């Protein structure tokens, strides 16, 4: 049984993950409009990952027999100054989420809720990877901002779909 305090905070985090989903959809659409299909595909894929994060948290709460209330989300940024801006925003977002994930983990430990602590460990690893990916992408996009094809080439070569992660928590509805 998950601690009540942890369950409430995890329910808040579901909203943060859906907000990240919306933001990445907005980034994808921006690159799609600029005819940067690789960057667009990368952000559409990132958006789906964020949606899955939210639904992993939904599944965890369902399994813990806790009531889930899907939170509303604020509108994402839809306009950007240049092609670097969405990636900078994405990196900031991933760093913010990493802090939220760490705080959730600390809360689980404070509450002696070690099952929830263990559930959070996958997300800690995920945030390390996402920050590294976005940080590298920001370097490339900043360096090549006047060479769109070089950016597209990099994304195509380095940031393809990595497929399923067998260690990932279950996504609610995935087997439905
Ligand atoms: Fe996420
Ligand atoms: Fe993320």
Could you tell me which of 89, 174, 87, 172 has the C-alpha nearest to residue 136? 87
Question: Ligand 2 centre from 22 Cα, in Å?
Answer: 12
In this structure, which ligand is nearest to the CA of 90?
Answer: 2
Question: 35: left (phi > 0), else alpha (psi -120 to 50), else beta?
Answer: left
Which numbered ligand comes closest to the C-alpha of 54? 1
Q: What pLDDT does residue 161 have? A: 81
Distance 7 CA to ligand 2 centre (A): 20
The Cα–Cα gap between 5 and 22 comes to 27
- The confidence score (pLDDT) of residue 163 equals 79
Q: Are 7 and 65 in contact (CB under 8 A)?
A: no
Q: pLDDT tens per residue, the chain (176 residues)?
A: 789 999 999 999 999 999 999 999 999 999 999 999 999 999 999 999 999 999 999 999 999 999 999 999 999 999 999 999 999 999 999 999 999 999 999 999 999 999 999 999 999 999 999 999 999 999 999 999 999 999 999 999 999 887 788 899 999 999 76
| pLDDT of res. 165 | 87
Point out the ligand nearest to the CA of residue 132.
2
Ligand showing the shortest atom-to-Cα distance for residue 46:
2
Could you give the 3-state DSSP secondary structure of residue 76?
coil
pLDDT at 160: 85
Q: Which pLDDT belongs to residue 81? A: 97
């Amino acid at each position: 049984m998950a601690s009540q305090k942890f369950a409430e905070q995890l329910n808040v985090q579901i909203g943060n993950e859906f907000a990240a989903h919306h933001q990445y959809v907005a980034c994808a659409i921006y690159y799609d409009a600029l005819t940067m299909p690789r960057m667009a595909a990368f952000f559409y894929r990132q958006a789906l990952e964020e949606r899955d994060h939210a639904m992993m948290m939904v599944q965890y709460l369902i399994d813990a027999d806790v009531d889930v209330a899907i939170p509303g989300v604020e509108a994402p940024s839809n306009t950007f100054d240049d092609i670097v801006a969405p990636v900078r925003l994405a990196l900031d977002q991933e760093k913010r989420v990493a802090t939220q994930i760490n705080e959730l983990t600390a809360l689980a430990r404070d509450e002696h809720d070690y099952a929830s602590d263990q559930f959070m460990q996958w997300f800690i690893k995920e945030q390390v990877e996402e920050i590294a990916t976005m940080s590298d992408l920001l370097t490339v996009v900043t360096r090549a901002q006047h060479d769109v094809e070089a950016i597209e080439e990099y994304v195509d070569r380095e940031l393809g779909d990595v497929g399923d992660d067998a260690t990932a928590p279950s996504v609610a509805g995935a087997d439905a």
